[in-house]
Structure 1
């Protein structure tokens, strides 16, 4: 038991099941389609093979192309960037930096894993529909302003553990789904919401995986 407690202290991730009083990990961003509407919207999305990645550069340093704009842009001009807004939305026990919007502490019940994470340094913000996938399913033809807005759309942003976010990377649902199988329905709903909102295409395998995810909604 002592080694288990040591692992928990070192990683900040709980191996103990969440208590009934803990926030639920089936939450979705405001604006997410309900299951029935998500199924209908998925059926209406254009089906196409993924486009080429030519021209895709996410890096903004040293004059790089930065095709989706500066990360975590304050799109609504309220002085609080999108990363800070998502952390404040998804974490509990949030502590702000003195006199600033930035979040310096809080606890996350990670929807992707079902584990509890403490420490903002162990948390990243996931684009549920990866930006690379947006690019190859239609965003390559958008104006820069539309790509900037899409990259910072709160409907597509979820706070998760850094480790699971790295494991997902730019994978689509046919390649990766949250390890917490109980989040499949929510994940599918978020993904379809974003694809439908921007009129993005889906590959056949991607669509099949999303259909399977939405069957978990009951």
Structure 2
């Protein structure tokens, strides 16, 4: 029951709206609602447990053909309103959004990609990034969670950001010590989002991961 309530709460999260004409300063400050500010992020990062990442044994993301699907069906409609999480994030992060006729799915819109600082005008070229990759969640504590908790975490809007598909593919399952957004101006915001999610789920960090996040947060000023 507790995780059902959590899912419903997470589904109600939203981001600060931003139009394509917004200033570059507003662009790099764009984060999902509920993201820690820089001071709180530094405090939370210092409190995170430091540990060697666990093994990937048992981790299966694919849900096709009866596979394990340890984080549940991707973009699960957590609040049962008929609008899946991908559609909710696209509607939240894009400007000039048009919906598919009679549906919540986003048909078109314009994305100011925070990771690259470029503009993407084709929805087919936009993907939703888990800022803290699900594989990293698995290795830092989620392997021991109940399925309901993993489903909630995988659909937590605080951890989901619309970005260009190309940059999302380049990131893959990499952690901040292995990958940071190409746009250096987004380092602070990226670090804040990452720490927010790690802290929310009491996940561990590696020494290298922690050092990279500390470096990212220095960009906050």
Q: Same fold (TM over 0.5)?
A: yes
Structural mapping, 1:120-159, within 5 Å: 120-159=123-162
Q: Give the greater-gyration-radius structure (CA).
A: 1
Task: Tell me the equivalent position of 1:185.
Answer: 188
Q: Determine which of 81, 89, 93 is the counterpart of 1:90.
A: 93
Q: Is the 8 A contact 2:28 2:189 kept in 1?
A: no
Per the alignment, in what secondary structure is the counterpart of residue 172 of structure 1?
coil
Measure the CA separation in 2 of the matches of 1:50 and 1:191.
16
Give TM-score scaled by structure 2 length. 0.89
Give the aligned partner of residue 196 of structure 1. 199
| Contact 2:130–2:161 (Cα < 8 Å) also in 1 | yes
| Equivalent position SS for 1:50 | coil
Q: State whether structure 2 residue 107 is matched by structure 1 residue 104.
A: yes
**Cα 1:160–1:171 shift into 2, 3 Å:** same
Question: Unaligned 5+ residue runs, structure 1?
Answer: 1-17
Size of the aligned set, in residue pairs, is 201
Counterpart in the other structure of 2:120: 117
1:44 to partner: Cα distance: 0.3
Distance in structure 1 (CA, Å) of the matches to 2:110 and 2:28:
13
Structure 1 residue aligned with 2:12: none
Q: What SS class does the counterpart of residue 205 from structure 1 fall into?
A: helix
Alignment-derived partner of residue 4 in structure 2: none
Q: Structure 2 unaligned segments of length 5 or more: list them.
A: 1-19
What's the counterpart of residue 60 of structure 2? 57
TM-score (norm 1): 0.90
